[in-house]
């Protein structure tokens, strides 16, 4: 383990800044065959809601140039099932297991957050106010500074560990939302969630997703993600976790240069199941090559 | 246990039309592969997603075959690979075809496989596994014309081969679902091909509980992490094709 990579998100210690993104890494177990996922700085598990959700109909994904669209729609078995069935299986992973909390109304977010609050080995939640694939709630909370403030301040009252809030890039001013979320008591901000997109098959004259629109992720979104991280990191005091199109250690360093304290890897896990491990190794190698003692020396230098 | 393994292309053979077949060799022995399992293959120079492809045949402890139809950019990239080049695959994925056990097989049971187009791919492996148990299976192949029939030689060496072509240029003329053999009694029927064809086969077989189909949903991860590949089952729930399938009982799907 390379001590130089150790990072802090508020009171949460990450052994390195590399986490995996919600909805792309299951509960970590799915990738444990490929490498010991406990070596990650953190794992953000699937979006979890108050009760069982079936999600959207198939087809739920479409390939796009340098990326993909998804319309999963928060399929999960609900917070109760998570606490009784999944948590016991994953709590022994020796990394920060973070639960992505979703809902369609403030009460649902509160219900999920307070149940997760009781789990000893979950040091943080990531409040998802940015999902573009559900009709109610989700992104609608994250596109307006007032509703973002409201939901975060409610959760702040019922959740007393590290509260990370995940923002959407589908807004006019991401800085405005970030400031509202910071005011409401968030401990950190992660961004970006997917961008609203659409793919069409000209031959069949149909949209490729059952929901017509979906969330764009992968390499295609990286420039937008870097811009959002740079803007927000310059505007708030709380740490920023950057994600969107990270496929390699170079990509991760780019986010750190734009001000990210930690990063998350999403879509790249589908292409290269070992990417998490390789990014960690690549970050150590970068420090060696540039003669740095840690990433604080270069963080936010753009 | 699933693995990410580099394979060398031992052989590439272009077949009629847009089909090709790859023999892929790994340096080390492969894990056990059951008929009907698939790989997630990463085309060289691609920064796109992997493609799910059925395992067509396993010929030694380190060589597998894939049969692929070029339909879009990913499969086109795969077709550009040359002998001797390296390609990465994640395998073995999914649950294969549930086979009748050796005990059940002794009583003269009959097995039928129905493959449409590239859907024939997993059946060479399956027919060979049954042949190892001393069972000669029946395989019904459907294609548009004689030119579109694949692996005729390989299949006829291990199974009783039946063919239906739409234009009658080989075998019986007409759709695969009209073939007489579907009226005979079978203890297990396996089906793989385009969705409308599988649904049609499922609707003509006498006993649906004996019929299994292999689904081709769009996939991203292939390992149960993204929930992109779901199919709605009879109980109304969405289930992952990559981990709970790709083979499902027709009853379970509620077709
Ligand atoms: C478990 C499984 C096993 C498979 N086995 C084989 C196999 O042995 N041989 C083989 O050739 N193909 C197989 N497929 C299908 C194969 O994965 C797709 O054809 C391939 O991913 C298409 O990629 P592309 O980039 O070339 O096409 P794209 O550019 O993605 O698509 C081109 C066209 O093909 C359609 N298409 C894309 N993906 C699929 C799909 N999964 N099923 C049906 N249509 C699709 C699109 O709607 C579009 O019209 C399998 C799929 C699954 C899920
Ligand atoms: C299939 C899929 C499912 C996702 N599910 C969730 C989710 O449940 N909650 C969430 O906050 N983000 C979800 N995301 C968004 C990712 O966590 C991430 O923000 C986004 O994909 C951008 O990062 P990337 O380009 O590295 O994938 C999902 C993304 C994908 C591709
Ligand atoms: S393809 Fe990701 S869960 Fe099946």
What are the domain boundaries of chain A?
Answer: 3-297
Residue A147's Cβ-count burial label (10 Å; 0-12, 13-18, 19+) is middle
Choosing among 3.30.420.40, 1.10.150.170, 3.20.20.70, 3.50.50.60, the CATH entry for A3-297 is 3.20.20.70
- Look at ligand 2, atom 6, and give the residue with the nearest C-alpha: A23
Residue A134 has pLDDT above 80, yes or no: no
Residue B144 has pLDDT above 80, yes or no: yes
Q: Which residue of B has its CA nearest to A28?
A: B225
Residue A10 has pLDDT above 90, yes or no: yes
Tell me the chain B residues in contact with residue A54 when contact means C-beta distances shorter than 8 Å: 236-238
Banded model confidence at residue B231, pLDDT cuts 50, 70, 90: very high
Q: Is the CB of A245 within 6 Å of ligand 2?
A: yes
Please report the pLDDT score of residue B17 as a whole number: 78
- Look at ligand 2, atom 23, and give the residue with the nearest C-alpha: A244
What per-residue string of b and e applies to B168-177 under the rule 16 or more CB within 10 Å gives b? eebbbeeebb
Banded model confidence at residue A103, pLDDT cuts 50, 70, 90: very high
Banded model confidence at residue B193, pLDDT cuts 50, 70, 90: very high
Q: Which residue of A has its CA nearest to B237?
A: A54
Look over chain B and give the mean of its residue pLDDT values, rounded to a whole number. 94
Inter-chain CB pairs, A–B, below 8 Å: 91
- Look at ligand 1, atom 37, and give the residue with the nearest C-alpha: B218
- Cα–Cα distance, A143 to A170 (Å, whole number): 7
The H or E element that residue B63 is part of is: strand B63-69
Banded model confidence at residue A265, pLDDT cuts 50, 70, 90: very high
Residue B191 has pLDDT above 90, yes or no: yes
Please report the pLDDT score of residue B220 as a whole number: 97
Residue A133 CA, ligand 1 centroid: distance in Å: 24
**Percent of chain B residues topping a pLDDT of 70:** 100
Report pLDDT digits (tens) over B124-138: 999 999 999 889 999
Report pLDDT digits (tens) over B53-112: 999 999 999 999 999 999 999 999 999 999 999 999 999 999 999 999 888 887 788 999
Residue A20 has pLDDT above 90, yes or no: yes
Tell me the chain A residues in contact with residue B236 when contact means C-beta distances shorter than 8 Å: 54
- Cα–Cα distance, B219 to B80 (Å, whole number): 22
Interface membership of B31 toward A (CB under 8 Å)? no
Does residue B223 contact residue B93 with C-beta atoms inside 8 Å?
A: yes
Q: Is the full-model pTM beyond 0.90? A: yes
Banded model confidence at residue A137, pLDDT cuts 50, 70, 90: low
List residues of A with catalytic annotation.
131
Nearest CA distance, B101 vs chain A (angstrom):
29
Please report the pLDDT score of residue B102 as a whole number: 81
Report pLDDT digits (tens) over A226-259: 999 999 999 999 999 999 999 999 999 999 999 9
Mutate to test the interface with B, among A273, A274, A278 (most CBs of B within 10 A): A273
CA-CA distances (angstroms) from residue A273 to A16, A278, B3, B50, B139?
Answer: 18, 10, 10, 11, 36
Report the complex ipTM. Answer: 0.94
**Percent of chain A residues topping a pLDDT of 70:** 98
User: Looking at A179-183, A220-224, B179-183, which range is the least confident one?
Assistant: B179-183
Look over chain A and give the mean of its residue pLDDT values, rounded to a whole number. 96
For A166-192, what is the mean pLDDT? 97
């Amino acid at each position: 383990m390379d001590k130089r990579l150790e990072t802090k998100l508020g009171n949460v210690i990450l052994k390195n800044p590399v986490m995996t993104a919600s909805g792309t890494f299951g509960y970590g177990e799915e990738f444990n065959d490929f490498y010991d996922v406990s070596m990650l700085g953190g794992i953000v598990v699937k979006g979890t809601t108050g009760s069982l959700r079936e999600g959207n109909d198939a087809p739920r994904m479409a390939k796009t140039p340098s990326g993909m669209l998804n319309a999963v729609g928060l399929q999960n078995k609900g917070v109760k099932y998570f606490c009784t069935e999944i948590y016991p299986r994953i709590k022994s992973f020796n990394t920060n297991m973070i639960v992505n909390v979703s809902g369609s109304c403030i009460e649902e977010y509160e219900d999920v957050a307070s149940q997760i609050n009781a789990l000893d080995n979950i040091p943080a939640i990531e409040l998802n106010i940015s999902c573009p694939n559900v009709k109610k709630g989700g992104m609608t909370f994250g596109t307006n500074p007032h509703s973002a403030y409201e939901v975060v301040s409610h959760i702040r009252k019922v959740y007393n560990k590290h509260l990370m809030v995940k923002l959407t890039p589908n807004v006019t001013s991401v800085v405005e939302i970030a400031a509202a979320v910071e005011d409401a008591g968030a401990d950190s901000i992660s961004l970006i969630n997917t961008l609203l997109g659409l793919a069409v098959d000209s031959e069949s004259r149909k949209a490729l997703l059952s929901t017509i629109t979906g969330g764009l992720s992968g390499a295609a979104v990286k420039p937008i993600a870097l811009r959002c991280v740079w803007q927000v990191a310059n505007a708030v005091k709380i740490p920023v976790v950057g994600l969107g199109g990270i496929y390699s250690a170079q990509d991760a360093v780019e986010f750190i240069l734009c001000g990210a304290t930690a990063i998350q890897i999403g879509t790249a896990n589908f292409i290269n199941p070992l990417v998490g491990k390789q990014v960690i190794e690549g970050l150590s190698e970068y420090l060696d090559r540039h003669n740095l003692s840690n990433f604080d020396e270069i963080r936010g230098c753009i | 246990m699933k693995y990410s393994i580099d394979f060398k292309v031992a052989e590439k053979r272009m077949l009629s039309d847009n089909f090709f077949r790859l023999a892929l060799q790994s340096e080390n022995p492969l894990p056990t592969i059951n008929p009907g399992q698939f790989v997630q293959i990463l085309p060289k120079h691609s920064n796109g997603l992997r493609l799910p492809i059925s395992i067509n045949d396993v010929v030694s402890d380190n060589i597998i075959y894939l049969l692929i139809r070029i339909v879009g950019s990913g499969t086109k990239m795969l077709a550009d690979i040359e002998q001797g080049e390296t390609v990465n695959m994640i395998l073995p994925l999914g649950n294969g075809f549930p086979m009748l056990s050796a005990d059940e097989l002794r009583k003269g049971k009959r097995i039928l496989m129905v493959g449409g187009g590239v859907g024939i791919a997993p059946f060479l492996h399956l027919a060979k596994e049954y042949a190892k148990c001393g069972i000669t299976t029946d395989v019904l192949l459907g294609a548009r014309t004689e030119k579109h029939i694949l692996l005729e030689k390989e299949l006829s060496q291990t199974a009783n081969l039946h063919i239906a072509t739409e234009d009658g240029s080989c075998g019986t003329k007409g759709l695969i679902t009209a073939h007489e053999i579907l009226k005979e009694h079978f203890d297990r029927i396996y089906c793989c091909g385009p969705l409308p064809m599988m649904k049609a086969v499922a609707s003509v077989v006498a006993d649906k509980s004996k019929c299994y189909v292999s689904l081709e949903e769009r996939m991203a991860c292939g390992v149960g992490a993204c929930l992109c590949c779901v199919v709605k089952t009879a109980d109304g729930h969405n289930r992952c094709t990559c981990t709970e399938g790709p083979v499902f009982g027709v009853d379970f799907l509620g077709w």
